[in-house]
Structure 1
């Protein structure tokens, strides 16, 4: 029961990048993933309270560590793909049919703390969503349509909170990434800044972010308002 509850916990964000402990954990995740012939592995599956996901690229020799990953963009809901999944922390005979976004864009830190962004499609999209579910304490059983389709012992553990956990599993939220935060910062500045040159500079910055024209450039000189 304690182990089951541990799998349901939100994980702690990593702040000590490029450390010996983090490198050791990353090495163990990689070796465990290879030993299990898995596409990906989350630290939580190994009993480690840390937001880190390892992905092994199936078609190349490269591999990816995602530290503190967050999804900042998803493909349209109408393009979601059906998958049949199993999980290393559950009985191998247990398979769940579920839907995953066909593509997701993820912001993350690498082992040195450098920020990166990557869009995943196909099997890697499925894998990264599965592993990031672990980060928020969600298992594939939480995607199950009903408790009756689960083994009795799992159904009994899930009975009290399955509806709530299913709602979390189905939630397609996106985080406000670096670009989004930059836009919010510019919007806040433009609401509080009354200097005309500053407004013009903000307009130019915003146009670069959004790929639009610089509206403030066409504003007439004061006191005529720009509308």
Structure 2
């Protein structure tokens, strides 16, 4: 099932997501989230973006990895994740979001992280990720905390996107995927 993507302005995007009961069967939801993400040409999707306030996101960072970079992408689900540490050199990269189409901005994040999470079979993992995969995870994790990438913008940059954000929240935008407007 392909879900509509929740657009900027919907209150669920600003709420902290709740933990999923351990052992709950959410494999169908995870499959649907991957399908929804792929239909929208995304590399990550958090449950709040499909109007479900759950601590769950999926990523497929393979599309972000440059050939020959030596970096390894992942395609997996993260259930009840906790970022334990973020470290390494901070760097800037232009980010976008399926919930905020047509707006992109340079966001500074640390290059590495350690995260604890359950996979779809409820196996507990603690892993380190770096580069583009870490960035996608950080972006999606922020969604679970009610943080959007535009929340990192300051001053003039924030004022410059304000009009476009209003258009998005009113549904005055065209996308190649279905959206759910506030």
**Which bin holds the TM-score, normalised by the shorter protein?**
0.7 to 0.9
Bigger drift between 10-19 and 56-65 goes to 56-65
With structure 1 as the length reference, what TM-score do the two structures score?
0.61
Partner residue in 1 for 2:179: none
RMSD of equivalent CA atoms = 2.2
With structure 2 as the length reference, what TM-score do the two structures score?
0.75
1:191-226 CA-to-partner distances (Å, cap 9, x unmatched) read xxxxxxxxxxxxxxxxxxxxxxxxxxxxxxxxxxxx
Q: After the TM superposition, which segments of 4 or more aligned residues of structure 1 sit over 4 Å from their partners?
A: 59-62
Structure with the higher helix share, 1 or 2: 1
Tell me if structure 1 keeps the 8 A contact 2:59–2:74: no
Partner residue in 2 for 1:151: 162
Tell me if structure 1 keeps the 8 A contact 2:78–2:118: yes
Tell me which of 53, 71, 77 is aligned to 1:65.
77
- The structure that has the greater radius of gyration is 1
Q: How do residues 160-199 of structure 1 correspond to structure 2 at under 5 angstroms?
A: none
Q: How do residues 83-94 of structure 1 correspond to structure 2 at under 5 angstroms?
A: 83-91=93-101, 93-94=102-103
Structure with the higher strand share, 1 or 2: 2
Q: Structure 1 residues 154 and 35 mapped into 2: Cα distance closer, same or farther (>3 Å)?
A: closer
Cα distance, 1:63 vs structure 2:
1.9
Cα distance, 1:134 vs structure 2:
0.2
Aligned length: 150
Gaps (5+ residues) in structure 1? Answer: 156-227
Q: Which has the higher contact order (CA 8 A, sep 6+)?
A: 2
Cα distance, 1:16 vs structure 2:
4.2
Gaps (5+ residues) in structure 2? Answer: 1-6, 66-71, 167-182
